[in-house]
Amino acid sequence: MTSSTLAHTRPPFYRDTRTIAILLQVLFLIVVLVSGWFLYNNMVTRMAAGNTAAGGALSWSFLSQTAGFGISEGPTFRPEESYSRAYLIGVINTLRVGIVGVILATILGLFAGIARVSNNWLLNKLASIYIEIFRSTPLLVQLLFWYVGVIAALPTVQDAADLAGIGYLTNRGMYLTWIYPSETGRALTWWLLGGVLVGLLVSWLRRRQLERTGVPGSGALAGAAAFVVVVGVGYAVAMFTTAMPATTNYELRRGDRGVLFEDLNGNNAFDLNVDRGLAHVPITLFDADGQVIATGATDGDGAFRFVDLPAAATRIEWRTPAPLAISEPQRQGFNFAGGISLTPEFTALLLALVAYTGAFIAEIVRAGINAVNKGQWEASRALGLSTGDTLRMVVLPQALRVIIPPLTSQYLNLVKNSSLAIAVGYPDLFNISRTIVNQTGAEVQGILLVMATYLSFSLITSLFMNWYNKRVALVER
Amino acid sequence: MATDVHSPSWVNTNHPAPPQRPPASEVGVLGWLRTNLFIDIGNSILTIVTLIVLYYIVTNLVQWAIGAYWTPIWVNRKIFAVGLYPTAQLWQPALVLLMVSALFGVSAGQWGSMIRGLGFGLGVLLLALALIPIGLEAQLVMAGSLALLVVGYFIGARLPIPNKLLSIAWILSLPATLILLLGGLNFPAWGISWTFAPLVDTNLWGGLMLTMLLAVVGIALSFPIGVLLALGRRGNLPVIKYFCVGYIELIRGVPLITLLFMGMTMLPLFLPSNWGNPSQLVRAVTAITFFSAAYLAENVRGGLQAIPKGQYEAAEALGLGSFDKLRFIILPQALTKVIPAIVGQFIGLFKDTSLVSLVGLLELVAVGKAVIQQPEWLGVPGGVAKEVYVFVAFVFFIFSYGMSFVSRKLENKLGFGKR
């Protein structure tokens, strides 16, 4: 019938959707390529006219050149080192503030979010005020407020605020008492790492055993115990087997400062990069009459310095330190020495990022908890669980499924927002990349490098959080 | 008792006990206190601890606010509002405000819902500014805008104004604003030069005006790009799809500040040398637009995904072509669904515009920084940084919180986001 004639009438090729699709894509590709070429061409022309120091349009050779600038914090960096290492320090600094920030913001957000669903009216409203204020104002304003308004207004080093004996708060930063592995405790890091591994293993075994026997509980306690045992053994081993190096020597300068080191080349003088400074060793200084004039300890690089000595020191003695040394901040002239110090820039950035992101995380946690069916609360109440147990064992594990995807993007936001460090001068990767660009003129390369770094952070975080999300996802039959 | 004979024996014929008042601990102020603050021991402890913390915070805050030195903000109120815009030409931004208020009023009357909420907020703000003695002329402008807002509302509510006309008016208001603020049109490269007032260089624009302008222009320009990107990502043409995915993920993966610096330093490089260098404002707006487009695309994609497949199929069954299908069936529904998300994005962008202070534009935060540096306040013990930043934060807070409040109210009313 008619169908046989219809089957053979095909639309003309220019009305065939498949052809149109291909043509459209080809057209699109041409437009993209032409405009890309146009932009690139302009750039090359202008850069050639502008005569930038970076050489050609896209030369990466500047990375191995000498940086020539110092970096105020992070791992030690000397101006003689290369731009690529300077950038690496920036990446480390970004990760430093990013990782600490993510942990603290999660804790703050979790508490604020739980407070937001609390049936205590006052606490609920307090959390809500915190969330609204910090979510509705720009992070940059908060950062500048913390940095210029709060930290710069703290007392000076001379009349530093005492933090109940654990440290000092000044406008030059925060100084806290800290525990460092000393010269004899160098191996402790490995014991610590081993302890973590053994702890994880034991807790996993214990959990499996508990699951088999059907006893409620987690393996966390057994794991923690294993960790403590391993670290304790490590400490004892370090204490009884490690001694000071036989070639311990010291160099004393200007009667009040110097360095204690292991004389590796045996020339009785300290050579940077050859001899090894001895960290956190207790020392005593004597003057020419053999009188004790000061006692103290070396710092992490083996150096020591004392101010206001009654007389010039001529000789020092050292004792074998315990594997772990407690280092207290002590006022030295216009600054503090010892302990751990957080610069005003780091502190301000951390505070701002944590307070800001915490508010967003709190809303996510609240939404997640609200997403858990009310019947779950009632059921666990009926089983006799307390509110805390209900939250911990019933509600939060279920809420986690809703919480994790938006939480991931908040973590990424925190890391991306840490680029605001440039507003306060914290040397994060973006700030350092600007310094490099300003010195070399490698504008395009600098931007590409920064973008690639942030994109890889995003990728790694997303991969990890996706893996975690799969772990907590609902396992359906 | 007379009916007793008819009732079955198992009916309780005694009168029910008279209703008793609930115990005093369950109702009224006491009952509220008990259920909300002191339901059990743990809760009571929590309440008391919170009270102590609250007392500490509030007393310190009040003490600080009373002792704080607010003069710098009051003295510099003009700079906070419009930056270095020439004082003699302030009638131009005033005209913009009047125009936007009138448009807002008419749209609020016509469209209601969220626009009405936002218009109400604008009205309250205008009223407050008209009452505070910020300067007679400014107050008159605020009062005039308020009047236009109210009159516009009633006109919009009573007269049937075509939606299309109103939308076109809104779209045209953007170039009108720019021309008004500039004082004319000036493109020497193309031989266009028409002015009605001395031209105002964009570098002089600043303060809250610039903050607003950046956010509004950023969202408005990124809207078409964002919709196209979302459609491209949802479409089935692989080349276009991967281009859109790549663009969106690249932009979303990097901080805005890298894009701003890129715009500032690299945008001039990308243009032919005979075009000259675009002004800093144009560079910042370009960066913000490209940034915002990626986020907008993701929001619109969410809306597109929420459209049931049946809508597509029904449109196809009606014989609509791809373009008509999108134009009449899909996009109207998808865009309505994502209005709350776009308002949220606008709030985010409004806050993010503060970053342009780092690349040399004089918006609110940059004005704040400049005010802190003024030599007059050097003698103030402790400096004026706290006061200035608290004020700047407060201005941002009013707008962001106001907008999110209205948006949330609307969401609750329409049942968006309800599970």
ipTM score = 0.88
| Mean pLDDT on A227-251 | 82
pLDDT at A51 over 70: no
pLDDT confidence band for A2 (50 / 70 / 90): very low
Nearest C-alpha neighbor of B385 from the set B73, B74, B77, B83: B73
Cβ atoms of residues B110 and B226 within 8 Å: no
Q: Would you state the pLDDT for residue B96?
A: 93
Cβ atoms of residues B175 and B122 within 8 Å: no
Q: Would you state the pLDDT for residue A316?
A: 79
Q: Would you state the pLDDT for residue B3?
A: 52
- Decide if B358 and A123 are in contact by the 8 Å CB cutoff: no
Q: Would you state the pLDDT for residue B5?
A: 58
* Range among A110-114, A165-169, B158-162, B380-384 rated most confident: A110-114
Q: How far apart are CA A51 and CA B76, in angstroms?
A: 42
- Decide if B243 and A455 are in contact by the 8 Å CB cutoff: no
Q: At what angle do helices B385-414 and B339-352 cross, to 10 degrees?
A: 170
| Mean pLDDT on B295-313 | 90
Cα three-residue angle B41-B47-B52, rounded to 5 degrees: 130
Q: Would you state the pLDDT for residue B417?
A: 43
Q: How far apart are CA A214 and CA A189, in angstroms?
A: 37
Q: At what angle do helices A443-472 and B238-253 cross, to 10 degrees?
A: 100
Q: How far apart are CA A271 and CA A380, in angstroms?
A: 67
- Decide if A144 and B396 are in contact by the 8 Å CB cutoff: no
What is the number of CB-based contacts under 8 A between chain A and chain B? Answer: 159
Q: Would you state the structure tokens that stand for residue A17, as one six-digit string?
A: 């959707």
Q: What is the rounded (10 degree) CA torsion for B267, B271, B276, B280? A: -20
Nearest C-alpha neighbor of A73 from the set A432, A358, A470, A465: A432
CB contacts of B401 in chain A (<8 Å) are 132, 136
| Mean pLDDT on B83-103 | 92
Q: Flag the least confident range among A157-166, A229-238, B255-264, B322-331.
A: A157-166
Q: Maximum CA pair distance of chain B?
A: 109
- Tell me A15's DSSP state: G
| Mean pLDDT on A93-98 | 93
Cβ atoms of residues A433 and A90 within 8 Å: yes
CB half-sphere exposure, A444, CA atoms < 13 A: 19
- Decide if B243 and A28 are in contact by the 8 Å CB cutoff: yes
Other C-beta atoms closer than 10 Å to the C-beta of B391 total 23
Q: How far apart are CA B362 and CA B210, in angstroms?
A: 8
Q: Flag the least confident range among A83-92, A95-104, A220-229, B37-46.
A: B37-46
- Decide if A419 and B237 are in contact by the 8 Å CB cutoff: no
pLDDT at B287 over 90: yes
pLDDT confidence band for A56 (50 / 70 / 90): low
Per cent of chain B over pLDDT 90 is: 46
| A252 Cβ under 8 Å from any chain B Cβ | no
Q: Would you state the structure tokens that stand for residue A323, as one six-digit string?
A: 């594997």
Q: Flag the least confident range among A70-79, B121-130, B158-167.
A: A70-79
Chain-centroid distance of CA B199 in Å reads: 29
Q: Would you state the pLDDT for residue A237?
A: 84
- Tell me A78's DSSP state: -
Q: Would you state the pLDDT for residue A50?
A: 63
Average model confidence (pLDDT) across chain A: 84
pLDDT at B44 over 90: no
CB contacts of A136 in chain B (<8 Å) are 347, 351, 396-397, 400-401, 404
- Decide if B400 and A136 are in contact by the 8 Å CB cutoff: yes
Q: Would you state the pLDDT for residue B345?
A: 92
Cβ atoms of residues A95 and A350 within 8 Å: no
Closest partner CB to B47 (pick from A122, A387, A459): A122
- Decide if B266 and A126 are in contact by the 8 Å CB cutoff: no
Smallest CA–CA separation between A119 and chain B, in Å?
Answer: 6
- Quote the pTM value: 0.85
Q: What are phi and psi of A335, to 5 degrees?
A: -150, 180
- Tell me A12's DSSP state: P
- Decide if A119 and B258 are in contact by the 8 Å CB cutoff: no
pLDDT at B249 over 60: yes
Locate the chain B residue with the closest alpha carbon to A425. B358
Q: How far apart are CA A363 and CA B287, in angstroms?
A: 29
Q: Which of B250, B269, B352, B406 to probe the A interface (max A CBs under 10 A)?
A: B269
